[in-house]
Structure formats: C-alpha cells, structure tokens
C-alpha cells in the first residue's frame, strides 16, 4: 500500500512540485506536459498479461528499455525537449523503484 502511494505520488505530486517550482509562469501547461509523458505506459498494452504486479517494467517494455531511457535522459539537455525529458525520466525512476 505504501509503495503504491509513493509510486503514484512520483507520477502526480512530484511533477506538480516541479512545475510550480521551476516553471511558475506556465506551471499549468508544464504540469500537463509532465502528466502526458505517462502515455509512455501505452507499451504495456504489448505485453501479456497487460498488468503483472510482479513484473519490472524497466528493461521489459519497449518504451521502458535502457536505450529508450538513455534517449529520455538526453532530452533533458536540450531546451525544446527538456520538459518532456524530465517527465519521462521521472516516470522511469518511479517505475524503477517498483523493481526494487
């Protein structure tokens, strides 16, 4: 239960704090973009079963692969992709913590 609260807090609350702290002028748009990066979970639809509570997403799903994570980290270094990169990296951290 506590793990789920922490996991979903990383998905919803931390992006809100990031938007408010670092992008105050446009926080609503930034928060929307950060939430939209959760669409990366669409790759779960390719797995059978779609949801397995004992499966680690990192390294299993295509958009959760180590190569993809490297691209997401790279996004952070470019102004035009920074917000998307932050959202994707944060998402991978949240999903990675489930693997511990």
Long-range contacts formed by 41-50: CB under 8 A, 24+ apart: 41/91
What is the reported pLDDT for 95?
Answer: 92
**Mean pLDDT, contiguous 10-residue spans, the chain (100 residues):** 80 95 97 97 92 90 97 98 98 91
- What's the number of domains the chain is made of? 1
**Residue numbers of the domain that contains 36:** 2-97
Q: For 77-93, b where at least 16 C-beta lie within 10 A, e where not — what string?
A: eeeeeebbbbbbbbbbe
Cα torsion 73, 74, 79, 82 to 10°: value is -20
Say which residues have a Cβ less than 8 Å from residue 80's Cβ, sequence separation at least 6: none
Per residue in 53-73, pLDDT (tens digit) is: 889 999 999 999 999 999 999
What is the reported pLDDT for 2?
Answer: 75
What is the reported pLDDT for 33?
Answer: 98
């Amino acid at each position: 239960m506590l793990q789920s609260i922490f996991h979903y807090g990383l998905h919803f609350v931390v992006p809100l704090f990031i938007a408010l702290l670092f992008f105050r002028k446009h926080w609503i748009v930034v928060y929307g973009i950060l939430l939209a990066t959760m669409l990366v979970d669409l790759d779960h639809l390719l797995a059978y079963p779609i949801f397995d509570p004992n499966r680690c997403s990192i390294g299993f799903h295509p958009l959760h692969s180590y190569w993809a994570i490297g691209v997401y980290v790279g996004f952070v270094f470019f102004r035009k992709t920074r917000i998307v990169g932050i959202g994707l990296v944060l998402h991978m951290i949240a999903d990675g913590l489930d693997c511990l």
